């Protein structure tokens, strides 16, 4: 399976999940960087925060890949601006998509619904979803990712 993990990570949890998928499936990874500065808690109260990020790269070439993982932390019950923006810049037609979030366990279902809606809008064929609780350190993140991939019959 030719797969790539497109993800954003601020403090490293989503990065750990992405690297675990890379290791277990031989997937490629593409981390999205958000150069937006001075974001305050007040910013998150306004929906347009989701369109405010300045990301690098702006787009990922996915022609080669059969399966695309898209991963984001949950931020205030939503997805991150960086992931919103990269999805908005892309078309996932004819691609199988697996969505994942990392979360402290609050609002992840709502965030997953938003992610699903957004990827559907950009023509992705969603074949799997999982959320990883990021309370227990790196080893737990790796184990939970392992289990999620097993549940999806990918390993």
Which residue, 85 or 95, is less far from ligand FMN as judged by CB?
A: 85
**134 in contact with ligand FMN (CB under 6 A):** yes
How many residues line the site for ligand FMN (CB under 6 A)?
Answer: 20
Residues in 32-91 at the binding interface with ligand FMN, rule: CB under 6 A: 73-77
Which residue, 95 or 101, is less far from ligand FMN as judged by CB?
A: 101
Binding mask 81-120 for ligand FMN (x = CB under 6 A): ---------------------xxxxxxx------------
Q: What is the dihedral of CA 54, 62, 119, 11, to 10 degrees?
A: -50
**Least CB distance from residue 47 to ligand FMN, whole Å?**
15
**Least CB distance from residue 118 to ligand FMN, whole Å?**
17
Which residue, 60 or 96, is less far from ligand FMN as judged by CB?
A: 60
**14 in contact with ligand FMN (CB under 6 A):** yes
**Least CB distance from residue 103 to ligand FMN, whole Å?**
4
Tokens of 26: 């031989």
| Neighbouring residues of 155: CB distance < 8 A, sequence distance ≥ 6 | 24, 25, 146, 149
**Chain residues in the site for ligand FMN (CB under 6 A):** 9-15, 73-77, 102-108, 134
């Amino acid at each position: 399976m030719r797969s790539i993990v497109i993800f954003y990570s601020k403090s490293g949890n989503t990065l750990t999940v992405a690297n675990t998928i890379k290791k277990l499936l031989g997937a490629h990874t593409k981390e999205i960087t958000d150069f937006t500065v001075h974001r305050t808690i007040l910013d998150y109260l306004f929906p347009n925060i989701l369109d405010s990020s300045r990301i690098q790269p702006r787009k990922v070439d996915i022609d080669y890949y059969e399966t695309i993982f898209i991963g984001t932390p949950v931020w205030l019950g939503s997805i991150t601006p960086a992931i919103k923006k990269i999805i908005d810049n892309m078309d996932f037609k004819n691609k199988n998509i697996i969505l994942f979030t990392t979360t402290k366990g609050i609002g992840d279902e709502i965030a997953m619904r938003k992610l699903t809606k957004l990827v559907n809008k950009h023509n992705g064929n969603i074949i799997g979803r999982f959320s990883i609780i990021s309370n227990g350190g790196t080893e737990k993140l790796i184990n939970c990712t392992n289990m999620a991939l097993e549940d999806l019959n990918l390993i």
